[in-house]
Amino acid sequence: MASQKHSKKSKAPARTWLTNAEILTQNETRDAFVGSILIEGDRIAEIVQGKPKAKWTKGRDTKIQDLSGHVLIPGFVQTHVHLCQTLFRHMADDLELLDWLQKRIWKFEAAHTAATLEVSALLGIHELLASGTTTILDMGTVRHTEVLFKTALKTGIRANIGKCLMDHPQHTPANLRDSTKDAVSESVRLFEKWNGRENGRILASFAPRFAVSCTKDLMIQIGKIAAEKKAVIHTHASENQKEVQFVRELTGMENISYLKSVGILGPRSVIAHGVWLSDSDRATLKETGTAITHCPSSNLKLASGIADIVALKKAGVTVALGADGAPCNNSLDAFQEMRLAALLQKPKHGPTAMTAQEAFDLSNREGARALGLLDQIGSLEIGKKADLCALKLDSYETLPPAGRLASSRIGAIIYSGHPGLVRQTWVDGRVVFSHGKQGPKVPGIDPVKLLQKAKKAQAKILKSVESMP
């Protein structure tokens, strides 16, 4: 593909025409056609079928990038990831959720320094951008979360990040626990400092980890503050049967009812998992406007179960997708999540229960909707942010058959797609990943040096965990 020149500050040129691409707009009517897109600053300024008129492409500040043979899609939106865990990939395999957390992940997270956290975030963001994900909702970690904001700012990904809240004196380890007061005040400080930065590319949220790790007092305070600030609340719930039982014993209530009673559910709340839900839970999610992030790989690997997405959608609940953390997946690529999301519903509900188009929707429009950003991202439409990626479906397994453009391309993306198809990714009109003649490149990240740093950081964490009581 033709490479795009960067200015020294790696700012996007004022105007770039991406021409001759197959465009899957993912707009309301899912229009798809061969056409051209004009990126102006951070926005999509024009979309036309065919080529742009010659007079539109004049001017020294207008670049033209010929994307013949490429498919342009909205960038993937993943509404549940843990950048802090990327470094722990392959370090916690073949465990169920509570063992996975208590025996491994919490110890690793407690061992993070600001420096190891930065390496973990860079590894995660590199993988996400290179596989077409442009927006994430990140759960943060208990300490040093500011590093995640700084790394997101630097790399160009669109990110909504929250400090992970854990204050329960009995159900969290002492080395990964805040006082309720500190948990709340640091979350608020990060929100005030970071929310809305970079013209809204960086957002902040409030992230109580789950009902088990947080006191009722913390939950109530966070519910009130997030409502006042109109901020996203990001939590986990009803992922695993033991967790559901634990919450029942702790609170005397069902998980979803408990979260509602403490003010955690609402139109800006995003709950990861929702595997073990009753009809009444689903009705509560719908009534409060709470969204669910489906994490199919994680749910399978941690033996949690299979979320009934068909039932959630039937109940009118917004459902989006997320890879969760690298050690429970073990990849961060949206293609695998879309494929599994489509396949897992079919044995119970039939072959058309989750079509390729519906699985595709989860990864863009529905993700944007869950984050309250559908007016900004999630489809390729004039006036929206220029967050998109270019795919090349030219490998034997993805070569599209003859037929209607949209359905044949979407089938290839969902059922045989993989990160190797991604040739370029843009966020806010800036190129944040390209795979040209020189190979794959995320501007500003040297992958060889990053892997060296990752090995050192992993060794440091393992050593630190060995010396823990």
Binding region for Zn ion (CB under 5 A):
324
* Helix, strand, coil content of the chain in percent (nearest 5): 40, 20, 35
Choice between 76 and 100, CB closer to Zn ion: 100
Choice between 167 and 324, CB closer to Zn ion: 324
Q: Any bridge partners for residue 232, and if so which?
A: none
Choice between 302 and 312, CB closer to Zn ion: 302
Choice between 47 and 161, CB closer to Zn ion: 161
Q: Which residues contact 467 (CB under 8 A, 6 or more apart)?
A: none
CB of 236 to Zn ion, least distance (A): 5
Choice between 254 and 324, CB closer to Zn ion: 324
Tell me phi and psi for residue 65, to 5 degrees: -120, 115
What is the C-alpha separation between 469 and 463, in angstroms, rounded? 13
Closest among 302, 390, 306 to 344, alpha carbons compared:
306
* Inter-residue long-range contacts of 328-331, CB under 8 Å, 24+ positions, other chains counted: 328/92, 328/100, 328/297, 328/298, 328/301, 328/302, 329/297, 329/298, 329/301, 330/89, 330/90, 330/93, 330/301, 331/127, 331/297
Choice between 264 and 413, CB closer to Zn ion: 264
CB of 400 to Zn ion, least distance (A): 34
- Contact between residue 118 and residue 151 where contact means Cβ atoms under 8 Å apart: yes
What is the C-alpha separation between 304 and 210, in angstroms, rounded? 15
Residue carrying structure tokens 């021409």: 19
Choice between 367 and 417, CB closer to Zn ion: 367
CB of 329 to Zn ion, least distance (A): 10
Q: Give the DSSP letter of residue 324.
A: B
What is the C-alpha separation between 364 and 320, in angstroms, rounded? 8
| b/e map 36-48, b = 16+ CB within 10 Å | bbbbbbbbbbbbb
Going by DSSP bridges, is the β-strand pair 76-81/133-138 parallel, antiparallel, or unpaired? parallel
Q: Give me the residue whose beta carbon is nearest to Zn ion.
A: 324
CA 93 to chain centre: 22
CB of 239 to Zn ion, least distance (A): 8
CB of 117 to Zn ion, least distance (A): 16
What is the C-alpha separation between 210 and 225, in angstroms, rounded? 17
CB of 266 to Zn ion, least distance (A): 20
CB of 259 to Zn ion, least distance (A): 16
CB of 210 to Zn ion, least distance (A): 9
CB of 194 to Zn ion, least distance (A): 21
CB of 88 to Zn ion, least distance (A): 12
Q: Is the Cα torsion angle 83, 85, 89, 92 positive or negative in sign?
A: negative
CB of 81 to Zn ion, least distance (A): 8
CB of 305 to Zn ion, least distance (A): 15
* Inter-residue long-range contacts of 308-311, CB under 8 Å, 24+ positions, other chains counted: 308/277, 308/345, 308/348, 309/341, 309/344, 309/345, 309/354, 310/345, 310/348, 310/349, 310/353, 310/354, 311/277, 311/279, 311/282
What is the C-alpha separation between 147 and 84, in angstroms, rounded? 10
Choice between 326 and 342, CB closer to Zn ion: 326
Choice between 271 and 391, CB closer to Zn ion: 271
Rg (CA), the chain: 22
Residue ranges of the alpha helices (H) in 62-113?
97-99, 106-111
